[in-house]
Amino acid sequence: MKVSRLPSSWQNVLADEFDKPYFQQLQEFLQAERQSRVTFPPEEDVFSAFELTPYEQVNVLLLGQDPYHDHNQAHGLCFSVKPDITPPRSLINIFKEMQADLGVNIPSHGYLVSWAKQGILMLNAVLTVRAHEANSHKNKGWEKFTDAVIKKVNQKESPVIFVLWGGYAKKKLKLIDTERHTVIQSAHPSPLSAHNGFFGSKPFSQINNALKSFNQPEINWQLPDL
């Protein structure tokens, strides 16, 4: 895990984290893990969300929990999969709600890079996972790092929209100044909970309405064909 892959804007705001004992231990754990286990995403993709959305461009923070853990799925953005991979069910539910909310077409792929390039930091709370073992890298230090990321985004002078889907994400509410920033929360889009408050929550139009009120460009949610 090369910190050098982080763009300079993120290296500057997160500089204090890299010398902390937990971060050193996390790096040692990941080095050992990659030597002995198949780990996702590939090392060059771990910090993709930061590469695609520099600190100064973050207008929205969408929080996921854990990378996808099957081959060729995860590439460093929450909920997103590589171009030639069938979208998982949570992502299909996101697309269904997006269509119901905005009328956009359901895309043929689940590669969400175009969202990240428009100022959405697509952050998982944990950035790596062992193959086929969900949550296998939790409590190894990633959460401390991504909490620091949330706190730094919270410190931005311009207002940010924090999107928290599901109980795990909602626990991060305590890190956010809700007086200055906008929080959009609902049930998680997973098949287990989407019918309990995700469907019908209209997060996409809510995000764009908030961006408009901040005089920021709205997101074009329609994914381009690949």
Q: In the chain, what percentage of residues exceed pLDDT 90?
A: 96
Give the pLDDT of residue 5.
82
- Class assignment of domain 3-213? alpha beta
Catalytic annotation, residues: 66
Structure tokens at 118: 């428009």
Q: State pLDDT tens for residues 30-62.
A: 999 999 999 999 999 999 999 999 999 999 999
What average pLDDT does range 194-219 have in this prediction?
97
Burial of 124 from C-beta contacts in 10 A (0-12 / 13-18 / 19+): buried
CB 199 within 8 A of CB 96: yes
Residue-averaged pLDDT of the chain: 96
Q: How far from each other are the two terminal CA atoms of the chain, in whole angstroms?
A: 29
pTM over 0.95: yes
Domain boundaries, the chain: 3-213
Cβ–Cβ contacts within 10 Å for residue 28, how many?
A: 12
Asked if residue 82 has pLDDT above 90, the reply is yes
